[in-house]
Amino acid sequence: MPKASEIKKGSIVEIDGEPHIARQVEVKSPSSRSGTTLYKIRFVNLRTGQKQDASCKGDDGFGSIDFLRREVQFSFRDGEDYTFMDNEDFSQHTLSGEELGEQAGYLTEGLSGIMALLVEDRLVGIELPQSVNLEIVDTAPGIKGASATGRTKPATLSTGIEIQVPEYLAVGEVVRVNTETGKFMSRA
């Protein structure tokens, strides 16, 4: 039985007999000594798609649920649907762009290292690798000698997401992006 303090983004728990996935986890630490840390968690019902917010103390428990974690590879996008191929049995699973949310901005064809979350043989979510490599397709021109400063500029990547990158980077360069924070890590 997982506790609120153990839940992270992508965790699957049972609430009122229904499977729910944690989409956002916010930790609020009080300023006083005797205060209790609160966990504000946004769950999404995996069957209905309905959102549910919960404010919990660290000891509050949730029901556990049986689910599988399988390694998949992103195959292709068809309109708003994203198709993944299971690396073991080569079966295909599909999620909509709405179900993926901001994770869709990190998917490129052939991306591997993705873990699929399956409940009753139905794909309900994915876990992305820690970082992905994406190409810069639009940004202001690189400034020579700007590597000494810590200033950044906006850059649009090949998947359409926008991040802040150092001033010295130019269009066509490939960068490594942290999928948890959405921040620039390094050149690839």
Over residues 12-56, the pLDDT tens digits come to 888 888 888 887 888 888 766 667 788 888 888 877 778 888 888
Give domain 131-187's CATH number out of 2.40.50.140, 1.10.490.10, 2.40.10.120, 3.30.565.10: 2.40.50.140
Closest CA to 106 of 26, 155, 68, 162: 162
* Residue-wise pLDDT tens digits, 156-165: 999 889 999 8
Which residue ranges make up each domain of the chain?
4-57, 68-127, 131-187
Spans in the chain with pLDDT lower than 70: 31-34, 142-149
Do 68-127 and 131-187 fold alike per CATH? yes
Q: What pLDDT is recorded for position 64?
A: 80
Residue 58: its H or E element: none
- Give the integer Cα–Cα distance in Å for 127 and 181: 14
- Give the integer Cα–Cα distance in Å for 59 and 23: 20
Q: What pLDDT is recorded for position 41?
A: 87
- Give the integer Cα–Cα distance in Å for 74 and 94: 10
Q: What pLDDT is recorded for position 147?
A: 62
Give domain 68-127's CATH number out of 2.40.50.140, 2.40.420.20, 3.40.50.2300, 3.40.50.720: 2.40.50.140
Q: Are 44 and 53 contacting, i.e. CB atoms less than 8 angstroms apart?
A: no
Q: Are 14 and 63 contacting, i.e. CB atoms less than 8 angstroms apart?
A: yes
What's the full length of the chain, in residues?
Answer: 188
Topology annotation, domain 4-57 = SH3 type barrels. (2.30.30)
Within its chain, how far is the Cα of 147 from the centroid? Answer: 30
- Give the integer Cα–Cα distance in Å for 153 and 4: 37
